[in-house]
């Protein structure tokens, strides 16, 4: 599914890099543990997390993750946006919980990693 469609499905607002919304994603991984995220070797991956800090964006950079969805109204700082811009990573804020966002996206065909 295209990231644009993904954002619509979870009532997401795009905080960074709207140019990337036409990209296709195939897999999603939901976690607040960045060490777990770093074990994922899939491409075309979106990360769903409640961890709103620089390391979530750094992890996305290192693991070639196309987009990060921050759930449940977490605040994304200017530093996080700057780092995402530098690396072309799409950042989306969703009012949904991690469970709900994951459930909706799974139901629409986004694949789990394991």
Partner 1 sequence: MKLEYKVQGGDFVRAGQASSQVKKVLKRLNVPPAIIKRVVVALYEGEVNIVAHAFQGKIYVDIDADKIKVVLDDIGPGIPDIDLAMKPGFSTASNIVREMGFGAGMGLPNIKENTDKMKISSVIDVGTRLEFEVNLK
- Is the separation of the CB atoms in 25 and 109 below 8 Å? no
Contacting range for partner 1; rule: CB under 8 A; set: 18-26, 54-62, 67-75, 88-96? 54-62
What lies within 8 Å, CB to CB, of 62 at 6+ separation is 38
Minimal distance in Å, beta carbon 73 to partner 1? Answer: 18
User: Does position 88 bind partner 1 by CB under 8 A?
Assistant: no
Strand segments, DSSP code E, in the chain are 13-16, 27-30, 45-49, 67-70, 90-93, 111-112
16-45 residues in contact with partner 1 (CB under 8 A) are 32-39, 41
Q: Which stretch binds partner 1 (CB under 8 A): 1-9, 16-24, 48-56, 95-103?
A: 48-56
Strand partners, 70: 49, 93
**Minimum distance, C-beta of residue 106 to partner 1, in the bound complex (Å):** 22
Backbone phi and psi for residue 15, each to the nearest 5 degrees, phi listed first: -95, -25
List residues binding partner 1 (CB under 8 A).
32-39, 41, 49, 51, 53-56, 58-59, 61-64, 79
């Amino acid at each position: 599914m295209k990231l644009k469609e993904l954002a619509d499905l979870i009532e997401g607002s795009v905080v960074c890099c709207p140019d990337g919304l036409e990209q296709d994603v195939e897999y999603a991984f939901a976690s607040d543990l960045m060490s777990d995220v770093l074990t994922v070797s899939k491409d075309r991956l979106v990360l769903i997390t409640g961890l709103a800090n620089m390391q979530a964006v750094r992890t996305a950079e290192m693991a070639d993750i196309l987009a990060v969805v921050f759930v449940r109204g977490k605040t994304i700082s200017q530093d996080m946006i700057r780092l995402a811009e530098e690396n072309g990573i799409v950042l989306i804020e969703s009012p949904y919980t991690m469970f709900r966002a994951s459930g909706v996206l799974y139901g629409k065909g986004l694949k789990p990693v394991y």
